[in-house]
Amino acid sequence: EEFVTCGGVKLQEVDPKTMESRLVKGIFFAGEILDVDGITGGYNFQHAWSSGFIAAESINAEVN
């Protein structure tokens, strides 16, 4: 039984250190918008939290 969807923004198009688009500066991605799907058991939640944290830190660094 599936709990997440597949597809989304390709990982090659995102800088993993900042979660910023490599194609359009100033756009950041996190969580299930990315083409990532893990097995059930919290892996997708962890990816969403971790990528969201990285994106937020990167945006904060740009703004400040």
Handedness of CA 33, 15, 25, 45 (dihedral sign): positive
**pTM summary value:** 0.85
SS3 content of the chain, % helix, strand, coil (to 5): 40, 10, 45
Q: How far apart are CA 44 and CA 50, in angstroms?
A: 10
Q: Is it the case that residue 2 has pLDDT exceeding 70?
A: no
Q: How far apart are CA 64 and CA 61, in angstroms?
A: 5
Q: What is the pLDDT of residues 26-51, one digit of tens each?
A: 999 999 899 988 777 778 889 999 99
Q: Is it the case that residue 9 has pLDDT exceeding 80?
A: yes
Q: What is the pLDDT of residue 37?
A: 80
Contact 32, 4 (CB under 8 A): yes
Q: Is it the case that residue 23 has pLDDT exceeding 90?
A: yes
Give residue 1's pLDDT band: very low, low, confident or very high (50, 70, 90). low
